[in-house]
């Protein structure tokens, strides 16, 4: 969910010996021209709850935003700056 606190060094010997690999992802690997129509189709069938993706909280209510995220009530809390 977030970057590790402090310095982080992966156990590469264990990682690579097990046939695994470490991959960084920035922005995901979705193709918008394919993904967006699919999301709209899911939404039309009641299978994609847009309302649980983003929630706006007052900036002073950062604790609620964190709780909502860690309890899976929302994917992305928004805290507008005053």
Class of residue 58 by CB neighbours under 10 A (exposed 0-12, middle 13-18, buried 19+): exposed
Domain that includes residue 77, residue range: 49-82
pLDDT value at position 10? 72
pLDDT value at position 16? 72
44 assigned to some structural domain: no
21 assigned to some structural domain: no
Q: Is the pTM of this model over 0.85?
A: no
79 assigned to some structural domain: yes
Long-range contacts of 66-71 (CB under 8 A, 24+ apart): 69/1, 70/1
75 assigned to some structural domain: yes
Spans in the chain with pLDDT lower than 50: 1
How many domains does one find in the chain? 1
13 assigned to some structural domain: no
Name every residue whose Cβ is closer than 8 Å to that of residue 20 and which is 6 or more positions away in sequence: none
């Amino acid at each position: 969910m977030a970057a590790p606190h402090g310095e982080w060094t992966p156990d590469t010997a264990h990682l690579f010996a097990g046939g695994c690999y470490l991959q960084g992802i920035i922005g995901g690997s979705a193709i918008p021209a394919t993904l967006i129509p699919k999301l709209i189709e899911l939404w039309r069938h009641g299978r994609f709850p847009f309302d649980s993706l983003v929630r706006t909280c007052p900036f002073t209510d950062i604790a609620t935003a964190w709780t909502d995220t860690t309890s899976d009530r929302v994917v992305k809390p928004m805290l507008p700056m005053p």
